[in-house]
Structure 1
Amino acid sequence: MSRSVTVRAPGKINLQLAVGPVGDDGYHPLATVFQAVDLYETVTATDREDDEITVTVEAPRTLGIDPASVPTDASNLAVKAALALRESYGLDLGVDLHIVKGVPVAGGMAGGSADAAAALVACAEAWGAAVSRTELDEIAAGLGADVPFSLHGHTAVGLGRGSDLSPAMSRGQFHWVLATQSDGLSTPAVYGRFDDQVAGGAVVDDDPRISEELMGALMSGDPRRVGAALSNDLQAAALNLAPHLTRVMDAAREAEALGVIVSGSGPTVAALARSRQHALAIAAHIGAEDVAHTVLTASGPAPGATIL
């Protein structure tokens, strides 16, 4: 009999994203603070008798995602995760992966990375592979900088390429409004524009560091302090490529958001609210301004990849 395992993993917001100039290896040194939010990717892995790996995708209408926009070939991060796990342990097993989207696509919230994290855990269980979370971390790091965080969730500091993780002290719950766009932003394109800005004289830290102000704010659990400490070195590049995001940020500020930031490489804009009720009010205002494709509310921190 076939065995099915369902795992969900969260999307994320970068509360801080400090980026250094590109190195000789083609990578940018990062110092980032992740917070997982309760928007989830859900992956069901069902083992097969052959060695094929298939993918199907489902997305709720309310999220505004076209399932056809998600690749179902070997470029899908969930497929890459299954292949990496199989290769690491010398397995010759197949799996059917069914993904239910809950995180905006190409929105800077690591939905693809959440798919990969969920697929790693689901496939390991479906195949009966005795894999520890430490071993999964190593495989995850090879799949992308955000994948290890999707495994762990909550709030964490990421250094190096973002995959060198350590838990961050954080108190309380934070309420977010997430304004998404129908057109995504390419992460390589945003980093490319960032590099252009650095070459043009933009000042960046060669050795990016975590903000002490933000870490203190998270430990206090005070959303006002957290909102004032949000920062993203890629924001200027994202706004340069997608100037209309400025209108989204202005709308959130008009609704008295405590802090507004482009999430990761964009184009999703994240606004921090005083409370869940305030988040709903901010979302209503942004929706009325008609500057976003979809407006969602979410809370964090949320747990990482979890078997359902």
Structure 2
Amino acid sequence: MLTKLAYSLLSPAGARGRLTILTLHRVLPQADDIFPGEVDAARFREILGWLNDWAHVMPLDEAAERLARGSLPARACVLTFDDGYEDNVSVALPILQEFRMPATFFIATGFLGQGRMWNDRIIEAIRHAPAGALDLSTVTGDERSRFQIGDASSRRQAIDALLGVIKYRVPDERVQCVAAIETLCGGAHDQALMMGDAGIRQLRAAGMQIGAHTVNHPILATLDAAGMRREIGDSKDYLEAVLREPVRLFAYPNGKPGQDYNADSVAQVKDLGFLAAVSTVWGAARQGDSMFELPRFTPWDTSRFRYRSRIVENLIRH
């Protein structure tokens, strides 16, 4: 009751309303010892139970329109998923339906039905690499890419370091680096992690919303105007062809303004006819904030007390 009262005071109905948008990626069937903070099915069900007690969970398009009009309900909250993982359909969707909660799924269309995104290829390569010394400095050009791997913690450290080094490479160079890393780690692993067109249709048929997330998940700020427009516009066109309806929502890959996307990116999103777009800047949106840079955040906390505290802190932040 105390959480609901604090939430209502900080996120009231009407013109003073605040919009909390939560970011997720995967919902694993079981916990992963390398990524213990990643949400699994049991934890996702627990989180939705908390939100059911505290928040008014609503579709993103309705929330954005009501934010602009100053007519949000109290404790307005939106759930979003990035990238297009298959477990969003097989694991997350049934739990969302159990709680009768909507969510928005932002899809990087270039990876649909193709197995894995570049970062997941690195994760699986390091996960399956033989224990011992692993020197990837000749691939990355970074002397810090020398690792001693064995347990889950050391593999996680190597993964985090490699993702940080490779993330801002242009897409073609990034793909080449990933392939070389797979070779040095013992070969590629072909487990399919991404949904296909049927998964997108299934989510939409269940009442979920679908948004664009570029084709290849590039850092938009590294692209020229033509490349940026292709990435944003082609993902929108593909999803509209799959769904046979307009796609009006967009998420910037990685999502940090000035670093991952820029003013040109925002202008392209507006020009392509989107209703709203989300970043990864923490905070909760107010009336008057740009509909094309709505903040989002991820409370990683595992206890009910810390999770609700994080939501309250995020409301105070902005």
TM tier, smaller? under 0.3
- Mark the structure with the bigger radius of gyration: 2
TM-score (normalised: structure 2): 0.26
Which protein has the bigger helix share?
Answer: 2
Give the TM-score, by structure 1 length.
0.27
More RCO (CA 8 Å, sep 6+): 1
Query: Which structure: greater strand fraction?
Result: 1
